[in-house]
A = this chain, B = another copy of it.
């Protein structure tokens, strides 16, 4: 399957490369050509290439798909189920009792609902942490979407043995699925359990990801337990000797940020969730100053409540501006890098970071012919400060167009998926 995209503006996200007018060609799951209109014309004259489809982009923008670097897809069930409640009541009295009853099949269906939403937001890969890794991988495979799962083990569910089993099994499952070492959070895991995960990190020389310093209470608790911040404590176990990173990273000391930099860790920021759950505002400017790469994630739909990278992109810079009392904090291009390149690198998707020959054909087309994208003073700033799901004209994953002009090209139809989600929540009411 070879597809030609022409009359496009192209933002490859390669360092220092400006937007240019040209073409992108895909062959199977890879990009086989990226170049200017002139370069494309030369190549077309030289070769007899048979395209299965030729798409006139009408001046709209091709760029790498967004990487949602922290989510819990199966929590679509609990969207708007228990909002506007104090955090402890929300979690203990509403979320946990329902989650305890959810089956692997439920989570399979609910993950599919999340995939539909990811596609509408131009998200081509997610970093997912949830309860039933195998049924989640099946859901993403069946929908044709790329998913990197991460271990979710804590004292109450899963085990280090399961994490290792999934690490071996899901990394061999399909080109679209992968799995990274991880655990839920310091405060939900015993020291013994954490030591076992750290041993896996050493054994496989692999990075580890976890919820990290999401609330002040979490940090205070760890200091009380171990005399160290969560990051310093986990690092002292050898957890991050092969990299990895933390989700949220709201309450970070200078020493924490130094460890992040030294170990090459990623700070995955989740600004909407951190507001909605009243957690706080992360020190993004401090990460950037220290050279710590920042990626972006939506967190789960029960705490956000939507799976929209445009919201996260606006918030990560707008909140940095108000936190630092500096309207010049965190430039728009830096934000686009967080949402694409940095996310891909955090998730181990080294072939999904930029648009270039040989890279994965995980790509989106953004509609610039909408009032919120006009005038064309600065396209990158338009996307970050003014962009919306409404601008996503197409989402392609592994060379397949899964969403285009508001229509889903997935195997399952949206109405069936919605019906199943409503049936599941009906069982619990």
**Which of A11-19, A76-84, A228-236, A286-294 binds B?**
A76-84
Question: A321 and B277: CB pair below 8 A?
Answer: yes
In the complex formed, the residue of B with least CB distance to A334 is: B84
Q: Are A385 and B305 interface neighbours, CB within 8 A?
A: yes
Smallest distance from the beta carbon of A384 to chain B beta carbons, Å?
A: 9
A304 within 8 A of B: yes
| Interchain nearest-CB distance for A345 vs B (Å) | 24
Copies in the complex: 2
> B79 to A375, Cβ gap below 8 A?
yes
Contact B306 A375 (CB under 8 A): no
Closest CB-CB distance, A317 to chain B, in whole Å? 8
A251 CB–B CB distance under 8 Å: no
Q: In the complex, A382 Cα to B277 Cα: how many Å? A: 16
A91 CB to closest chain B CB (Å) equals 10
Residues of B within 8 A of A417 (CB): 371, 374
Q: Name the B residues within 8 Å of A277 (CB-CB).
A: 321, 327
Chain B residues whose CB sits within 8 angstroms of the CB of A274 once the complex forms:
322
Contact partner of A276 among B311, B327, B415, CB < 8 A?
B327
Q: Does A161 contact B (CB under 8 A)?
A: no
Sampled A-B contacts (24; CB under 8 Å) = A79-B386, A80-B379, A80-B382, A81-B377, A84-B327, A117-B372, A120-B370, A275-B318, A275-B319, A275-B322, A276-B318, A278-B322, A280-B322, A301-B386, A305-B381, A305-B382, A307-B372, A371-B417, A372-B389, A374-B418, A375-B421, A375-B422, A376-B422, A389-B389
For the complex of A and B, list the 3 residue pairs with the smallest distance between their C-beta atoms, beginning with the closest: A80-B381, A275-B318, A117-B371
Residues of A289-326 whose CB lies within 8 A of B: 301, 304-308, 311, 314-315, 317-319, 321-322, 324-326
CB distance from A283 to the nearest CB of B (A): 14
Asked if A193 CB lies within 8 Å of chain B CBs, one says no
By a CB distance below 8 angstroms, the chain B residues around A328 are 84-86
Query: A326's closest neighbor in chain B, by CB?
Result: B278
Among A84, A114, A315, which residue has the most Cβ atoms of chain B within 10 A?
Answer: A84
Q: Nearest Cβ distance between residue A156 and chain B, in whole angstroms?
A: 22
Give the complex CA separation of A76 and B375 in angstroms.
7
- A residues 140-187 near B (Cβ < 8 Å) are none
Give every chain B residue within 8 A of A386 (Cβ-Cβ).
79-80, 301, 304-306
Interface string of A95-120 (1 = CB under 8 A from B): 00000000000000000011011001
Any B CB within 8 A of the CB of A272:
yes
Residues of B with C-beta under 8 A to A381: 80, 83-84, 305
Contact of A327 (CB < 8 Å), options: B85, B369, B378, B406: B85
